[in-house]
C-alpha cells in the first residue's frame, strides 16, 4: 500500500475467485496510491499536465483489470472496499517524508503507463 508508495498490480489471465479478489484489492490499492500522488504531487512537480496525463492513463488501464471492471473511477470510488483502503492509505501517506513524496512524484513524471511506479 502506501508505506513507501509501492505499486503491486499483477496481470493475470486466469484466476480463481479468491485470487481475483486479491488481484482486485491490489489494483485498487495501486489506483488509490496514484490518486494520492495526484493530490500531493502538484506542490512538488513543475509539469502538472504530464503528471495528470500519466496518472489518468495508469488509472484507466488499471480499471480495466478489475473484475468485474467498474465503468469509471467515480464508480470505483463508491465501492466500500475502495473507500476503506483509501482512508487507510491516506493516513499512511501522511507519514511519508518530503523526499519520498518528491521521489515518487518524479517517478510518476518519468514513467510510462506500462511501468508506472
Q: Is 90 exposed, middle or buried (0-12, 13-18, 19+ CB in 10 A)?
A: middle
Question: Look-up: residue for cell 501517506?
Answer: 93
Which residue shows C-alpha cell 488481484? 23
User: Each residue of 66-97: pLDDT tens digit?
Assistant: 999 999 999 999 999 999 999 999 999 999 99
Q: Residue 110 is placed in which grid cell? A: 518519468
Distances (CA, A) of 107 to 11, 23, 82: 21, 23, 24
Q: Phi and psi at residue 48, in whole multiples of 5°?
A: -65, -35
The structure's pTM equals 0.81
Give the domain ranges of the chain.
Answer: 17-110
In tens, the pLDDT along 37-51 reads 999 999 999 999 999
Amino acid at each position: 500500500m502506501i508505506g513507501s508508495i509501492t505499486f503491486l498490480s499483477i496481470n493475470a489471465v486466469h484466476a480463481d475467485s479468491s485470487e481475483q479478489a486479491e488481484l482486485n484489492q491490489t489494483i485498487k490499492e495501486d489506483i488509490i496510491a496514484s490518486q494520492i500522488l495526484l493530490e500531493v504531487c502538484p506542490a512538488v512537480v513543475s509539469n502538472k499536465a504530464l503528471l495528470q496525463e500519466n496518472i489518468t492513463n495508469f488509472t484507466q488501464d488499471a480499471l480495466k483489470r478489475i473484475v468485474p471492471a467498474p465503468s469509471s473511477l467515480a464508480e470505483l470510488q463508491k465501492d466500500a472496499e475502495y473507500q476503506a483502503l483509501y482512508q487507510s492509505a491516506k493516513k499512511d501517506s501522511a507519514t511519508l517524508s518530503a523526499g519520498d513524496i518528491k521521489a515518487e512524484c518524479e517517478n510518476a513524471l518519468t514513467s510510462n503507463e506500462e511501468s508506472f511506479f
